[in-house]
């Protein structure tokens, strides 16, 4: 799973407002091997990408205090498959 250190590095690179898809895309770029390992762990899932990306979103939610981010609203954006789906938006606290 994503570590706090990895998430902090990614969030540091983000604009003050970003969404979960932005975070996931950077995670895939910076930690490609880790992302692929997460996909492989969920290989038996009917929708592997959705399952893994939901886990990453839950990680952000569960750790938003430590990561100094806060949920804002939900808006559509392009997911890793290029499809427009509703998605959580975030704001940096600092």
Domain edges within the chain? 4-92
pLDDT of residue 64: 98
**CA distances for 15 relative to 63, 79, 85, angstroms:** 19, 18, 20
8 Å CB contact between 14 and 22: yes
| pLDDT tens per residue across all 94 residues of the chain | 999 999 999 999 999 999 999 999 999 999 999 999 999 999 999 999 999 999 999 999 999 999 999 999 999 999 999 999 999 999 999 7
Instruction: Give dist(CA 9, CA 15) in Å, integer.
Output: 13
pLDDT of residue 94: 72
pLDDT of residue 12: 98
């Amino acid at each position: 799973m994503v570590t706090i250190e990895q998430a902090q590095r990614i969030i540091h690179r983000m604009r003050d407002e970003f969404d979960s898809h932005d975070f996931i895309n950077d995670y895939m770029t910076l930690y490609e091997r880790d992302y692929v390992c997460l996909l492989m762990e969920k290989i038996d899932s009917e929708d592997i990408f959705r399952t893994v990306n939901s886990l990453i979103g839950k990680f952000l939610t569960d750790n938003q205090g430590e990561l100094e981010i806060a949920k804002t609203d939900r808006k559509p954006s392009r997911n890793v498959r290029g499809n427009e789906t509703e998605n959580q938006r975030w704001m940096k606290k600092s």
